[in-house]
């Protein structure tokens, strides 16, 4: 098969054509997809009506699959995380239900898995049912944002480490969203504020809703810096806004892109997305 890559914005995002994800891809195609991902941070595949099994097969062709956490109410330890406002009977979940509030955390800028001791490499999201309007996903380039920082700011943050916490991100939505078992399973993790992407040697910020403070700094001082860097990172010139179509599949590199879901009328329209994730390859 002939793969075609079309850049979507100056700093982030590309469309991939010429790949059929309903069938296993060969090693050459997998390498081309990964190379494009490292270059563009976000890849869009249109017209991919894949099953969950096909979704998993494609994910594993790109690297080691990261299973969901057992305590995750929308993963339960399996390979697929269901991001949806629909219950097991196919009915809409009320917007004020605790399950909707938990999912509302996806509307905050974040990097998937940043709260883990070893963050996630990439996420692959498949659109099963989308609303007629709203529900877009925005991606911001933490790599381009780092590159554009003034040199004195780069020096300031060079050796800083941030604490990342799932509990902190959900506290921004409301209290009591996570049960005790889920809280216990997700203790805070520490990561460099500016990290190097091994495949490219480039540096990228690691900011977003999970970043709760700077280690060794007063909490409020650290949060002020983290907010300033997040505002910097999510400037329009660093952002790609994806308007979903049925059967789209989008891959993003969590090491170089932060993302958020946009609102829609979730009391009227269903939005059903299935996500797999790639683990960082320890080899």
Q: pLDDT tens-digit profile of 210-264?
A: 999 999 999 999 999 999 999 999 999 999 999 999 999 999 999 999 999 999 9
* pLDDT surpasses 80 at 24: yes
When the pLDDT of each residue in the chain is averaged and rounded to a whole number, the result is 93
Q: What is the per-residue pLDDT for 73?
A: 67
- The domain 4-279 having CATH identifier 3.20.20.70: the answer here is no
Q: pLDDT tens-digit profile of 114-133?
A: 999 999 999 999 999 999 99
Q: What is the per-residue pLDDT for 166?
A: 83
Going by C-beta distance under 8 Å and a sequence separation of 6 or more, which residues neighbour residue 67? Answer: 75, 77, 78, 79
Going by C-alpha positions, the residue among 60, 59, 81, 55 that lies closest to residue 70 is 81
Convert 203-236 to b/e letters by CB count within 10 Å (16 or more is b).
bbbbbbbbbbbbeebeeeebbebbeebbebbbee
């Amino acid at each position: 098969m002939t793969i075609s890559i079309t850049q979507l914005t100056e700093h982030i995002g590309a469309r991939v054509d010429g790949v059929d994800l309903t069938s296993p891809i060969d090693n050459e195609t997998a390498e081309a997809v990964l190379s494009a991902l490292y270059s563009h941070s976000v890849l869009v595949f249109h017209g991919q009506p894949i099953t969950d099994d096909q979704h998993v097969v494609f994910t594993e062709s790109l690297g080691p699959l990261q299973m969901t956490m057992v305590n995750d109410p929308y993963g339960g330890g399996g390979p697929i995380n269901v991001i949806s406002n629909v219950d097991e009977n196919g009915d809409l979940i009320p917007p004020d239900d605790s399950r909707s509030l938990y999912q509302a955390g996806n509307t905050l800028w974040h990097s998937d898995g940043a709260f883990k001791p070893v963050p996630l490499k990439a996420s692959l999201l498949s659109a099963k049912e989308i609303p007629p309007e709203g529900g877009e996903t925005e991606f911001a380039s933490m790599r381009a944002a780092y590159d554009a920082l003034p040199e004195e700011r780069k020096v300031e943050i060079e050796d800083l480490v941030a604490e990342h916490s799932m509990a902190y991100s959900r506290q921004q939505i409301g209290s009591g969203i996570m049960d005790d078992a889920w809280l216990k399973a997700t203790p805070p993790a520490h990561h460099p504020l500016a990290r190097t992407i091994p495949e490219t040697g480039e540096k990228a910020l690691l900011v977003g809703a999970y970043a709760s403070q700077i280690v060794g700094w007063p909490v409020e001082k650290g949060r002020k810096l983290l907010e300033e860097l997040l505002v910097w990172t999510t400037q329009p010139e660093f952002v790609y806004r994806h308007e979903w179509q049925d059967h789209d599949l989008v891959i993003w590199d969590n090491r170089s892109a932060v993302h958020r879901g946009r609102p829609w009328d979730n009391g009227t329209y269903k939005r059903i997305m299935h996500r797999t994730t790639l683990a960082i390859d320890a080899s």
